[in-house]
Every structure is written in C-alpha cells, then in structure tokens.
C-alpha cells in the first residue's frame, strides 16, 4: 500500500529551541492523524513542515500533492466568495455546499465572519482534489453545524482514500491516531 | 495557474490604486516648471531627466501592495503548495505589475512632455527610453517589495533600496532620451534586461526566506 506522508527522523528547531527530534511516522490512505499538545509545542510548525513551507533541521519528509488550511485565508478579500475560491480551481460548488456556505457565494470575502471565513478556508481545501489534507486548528471559530459538516467532510475524504493531518488541542470526532508533542 | 495569477494581479492593480502612481508622476513633472521657472529652453534640456526622476519616484508608491498582502494572506504559501515555483510567481507578478504601470506611464508621459516643453525628437526618445526601462523598473519594484515584505516601515526602506539600484536605468534612460543616436539606449536595454531577468530569482529567494 502506498504511503501518503512519511516523516523519517525529523528534527525541527525554532528560535533556538528544539521543538521535536527523531520524529518518525507514516500516513497511509484512509488514515487520520491528530497532532496534539499544549500551546507552543510545535503543532503548527509540524503542519508547515509537512506542507514543505518549513525546512527540517534533520531528517527526510516524503509528501504527495496536498492542501493546507491554516489561519491564512488566501482568498482575495474584495472578490465574492465563489470567485475567490474559483481562483484556486477544483470543484468549488460541491465544496461550498458541503460546508454550508453556498448562500454566501456572492458576498465579498471581507464581509465574512471568522466562522464563515474558516468554512471558506476548509472549502478551499475540500475543492482541491489533493490526497493529503493538512488542517491547522480546524475547529477554531466553527459552530456546532460547522463542526458536524467538517466531520462528514473528513469521513468522506478518508473513505475516498485520502489522508488527513490535523493539529488541534481539542478532541476531534472519529478515529484519529494521536501524536502528542511537547512532552 | 500563471495566466490566472497574472490576470488576477492585473485586475487587482486596476481596481485598486494603479492611477495613483500615474497621478503622482504627472504631479512631480508639473512641479518642475514651478521650481526652475518656465524657461522653455532650460526645461527642454532637463526635461528627459525630470521624466525619469518622476517615473522612479512614482514606481515607489505601489511597492507595499505588490507582495506584502499576498504574503500576509497566505497566497504565496498556497501558490507553492499548488506546485507553482516561487520564481514563476515572481515573474508573473513582474508581468502583471508592468501591465498596470508601464503603459499608463507611457500615456502620462505625453502631458508630462507637454508640461516640460520637450521638442518632438526628445519626446519620442523619452517615450522609447521609458518603454525600454519600465520592465526593469517593474522587476526591481517586485524584488524590493519581496525583500521588504513584512518589515515595519517597509515603504521607506523600499525607497532606500530601490532608488540606488535604479541609478543605471536613470543614467542611460535619460541619456537615451536626450540623444537617440548615442549607444545609451542599448546600455539602458541591457540594464533593463538584467533587472527583469534577475529580479524573479531575488524575489523568490525573499519569498522563501519569509516563510517562517
């Protein structure tokens, strides 16, 4: 079976502080990994490392094409949501539908609330067709309906042979392998 | 993706404030007759240089919105995750920036030349020199915008970085406008080519360094 994401003996140092070392794990299709740990333990850094936006001090990382949802919206604020999502390509309509933001299609991105913006970020990932999703604090600012929709989306993605790494200090619904940082 | 990025940046340029540097350009040119007096002969002699100084200062105005919003909003990160090389992103931004800046500047140089009482040949020379030099200026603007993105008071720092680097363009550009038979135009073209071709690599290195 193919491996979607592989960390081999990965160490990361940030601002002179060792966040983690000798990190080894593999993620196969259909698997979900939750990165947990207290504030400042390196959850977001691990996500950015997995995305290739940071370089490891040591070790090797093997990654497929992936999609990332973090604090950065990466959508043009002056455009209506649908056009802003359209810039990144992929099937935007089903993704907007899945996250319940279809009624916001014509609303400029700058008017979205933080919860709606989080849904829009997740819709960008859902539309991406990438096998691996990296979600940094996906539950932040989401209401109960948003959390339920995200859970369904995650289940569907895993069912289709995708894999997910989510950094969160809150419990996530479903079966997640745990990776505890900062101990 | 590259074509989409260029189209997006051009749209953002035109719906944003692309007229501002142009208005600034005309204003700086219009100040000159007030500063040195309305002597047509004197103005005609310094006119080509004035157009270039105005173009350089106008090129500084948009720098803070060229790269920083896309860095802060995660667009540069997402482009990388979509498999677009940072160098290609920078090159697309240079093309888009030139499209929203170069042609407008060439048009604004028409009233500018009239305000400075430039004669026909000098006016044509200035337009040719600006057309040749503005791609280099656009490349320099993107490179400097990328290097200063995210820094406090990036605008002032950008001026300190960009203006000295633009001196060769200024020297050969103004000389080419004044005397079209000199080899200044070829040298200006060489400088412009070097800046345009080198900037994507400088900007891309800055994009990478800014990822923390």
Chain B CB contacts of A52 under 8 Å are: 80-81
**Same domain, yes or no, for A60 and A115?**
no
Task: For residue A60, give the CATH number of its domain.
Answer: 3.40.50.300
Name the residue range of residue A77's domain.
Answer: 72-131+140-166
**Same domain, yes or no, for A78 and A56?**
no
pLDDT (0 to 100) of residue B171: 92
Look at residue A46 and tell me if it is in a domain: yes
**Same domain, yes or no, for A92 and A59?**
no
CB contact under 8 A, B74 and A78: no
B63/B67 Cα distance (integer angstroms):
8
Interface of B with A in 9-48 (CB under 8 A): 12, 15
**Same domain, yes or no, for A53 and A92?**
no
b/e sequence B49-85, b meaning 16+ C-beta within 10 Å: bbbbbbbbbbbbbbbbebbbebbebbbbbbbbbbebe
Q: Could you give the percent of chain B with pLDDT greater than 90?
A: 59
| Ramachandran region, residue A76 (left: φ > 0; alpha: ψ -120 to 50; beta: rest) | beta
* Closest alpha carbon within chain A to B6: A87
**Same domain, yes or no, for A108 and A152?**
yes
Q: B174, B95 in Cβ contact below 8 A?
A: no
**Same domain, yes or no, for A52 and A113?**
no
* Closest alpha carbon within chain A to B80: A53
* Closest alpha carbon within chain B to A45: B212
pLDDT, one tens digit per residue, over A74-107 is: 999 899 999 999 999 888 888 888 888 899 989 9
At B21, which helix (H) or strand (E)? helix B19-36
Q: B191, B73 in Cβ contact below 8 A?
A: no
**Same domain, yes or no, for A56 and A79?**
no
The number of domains in chain A is: 2
B193/B187 Cα distance (integer angstroms):
10
**Same domain, yes or no, for A52 and A92?**
no
Interface of B with A in 54-113 (CB under 8 A): 72-75, 77-78, 80-83
B28/B51 Cα distance (integer angstroms):
9
**Same domain, yes or no, for A115 and A45?**
no
Burial class (CB in 10 A: 0-12, 13-18, 19+), B167: exposed
- Does residue B3 sit at the A interface (CB-CB below 8 Å)? no
Mean pLDDT score, B173-200: 90
**Same domain, yes or no, for A54 and A126?**
no
Mean pLDDT score, B61-69: 90
Q: What is the greatest pairwise CA distance in chain B?
A: 58
A145/B44 Cα distance (integer angstroms):
70
At B89, which helix (H) or strand (E)? helix B86-115
Q: Is B68 helix (H, G, I), strand (E, B) or coil?
A: helix
**Same domain, yes or no, for A55 and A106?**
no
pLDDT (0 to 100) of residue A2: 83
Q: B28, B57 in Cβ contact below 8 A?
A: yes
The answer to whether residue B160 scores a pLDDT higher than 60 is: yes
**Same domain, yes or no, for A56 and A78?**
no
Look at residue A94 and tell me if it is in a domain: yes
Q: Among A14, A69, A76, which would you mutate to test the B interface (most chain B Cβ atoms within 10 Å of its Cβ)?
A: A76
- What's the mean per-residue pLDDT of chain B? 90
A141/A118 Cα distance (integer angstroms):
7
Look at residue A82 and tell me if it is in a domain: yes
pLDDT, one tens digit per residue, over B20-45 is: 889 999 999 999 888 888 888 888 88
pLDDT (0 to 100) of residue A1: 57
């Amino acid at each position: 079976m193919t491996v979607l994401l592989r960390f081999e003996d990965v160490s990361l140092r940030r601002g002179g502080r060792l966040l983690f070392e000798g990190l080894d794990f593999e993620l196969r299709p259909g698997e979900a990994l939750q990165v947990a740990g207290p504030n400042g333990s390196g959850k977001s850094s691990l996500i950015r490392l997995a995305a290739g936006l940071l370089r490891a001090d040591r070790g090797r990382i093997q990654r497929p094409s992936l999609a990332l949802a973090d604090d950065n919206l990466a959508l043009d604020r002056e455009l209506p949501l649908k056009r802003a999502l359209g810039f990144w390509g992929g099937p935007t309509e089903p993704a907007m539908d899945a996250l319940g933001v279809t009624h916001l299609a014509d609303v400029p991105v700058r008017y979205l609330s933080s919860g709606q913006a989080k849904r829009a970020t997740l819709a960008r990932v859902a539309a991406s067709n990438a096998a691996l999703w990296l979600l940094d604090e996906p539950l932040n600012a989401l209401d109960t309906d948003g959390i339920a929709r995200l859970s369904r989306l995650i289940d569907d993605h895993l069912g289709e042979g995708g894999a997910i790494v989510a950094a969160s200090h809150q419990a996530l619904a479903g079966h997640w392998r745990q990776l505890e940082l900062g101990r | 993706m590259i074509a989409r990025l260029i189209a997006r940046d051009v749209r953002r340029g035109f719906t944003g404030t692309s007229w501002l540097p142009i208005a600034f350009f005309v204003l700086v040119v219009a100040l000159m007759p007030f500063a040195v007096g309305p002597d047509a002969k004197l103005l005609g002699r310094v006119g080509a240089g004035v157009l270039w100084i105005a173009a350089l200062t106008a090129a500084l105005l948009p720098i803070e919105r060229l790269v920083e919003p896309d860095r802060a909003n995660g667009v540069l990160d997402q482009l990388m995750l979509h498999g677009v090389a940072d160098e290609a992103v920078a090159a697309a931004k240079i093309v888009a920036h030139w499209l929203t800046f170069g042609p407008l500047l060439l048009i604004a140089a028409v009233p500018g030349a009239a305000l400075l009482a430039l004669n026909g040949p000098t006016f044509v020379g200035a337009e040719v020199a600006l057309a040749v030099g503005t791609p280099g200026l656009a490349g320099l603007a993107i490179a400097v915008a990328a290097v200063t993105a995210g820094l406090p008071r990036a605008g002032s720092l950008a001026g300190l970085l960009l203006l000295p680097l633009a001196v060769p363009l200024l020297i050969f550009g103004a000389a080419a406008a004044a005397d079209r038979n000199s080899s200044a135009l070829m040298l200006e073209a060489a400088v412009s080519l070097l800046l345009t071709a080198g900037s994507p690599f400088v900007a891309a290195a800055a994009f990478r360094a800014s990822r923390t």
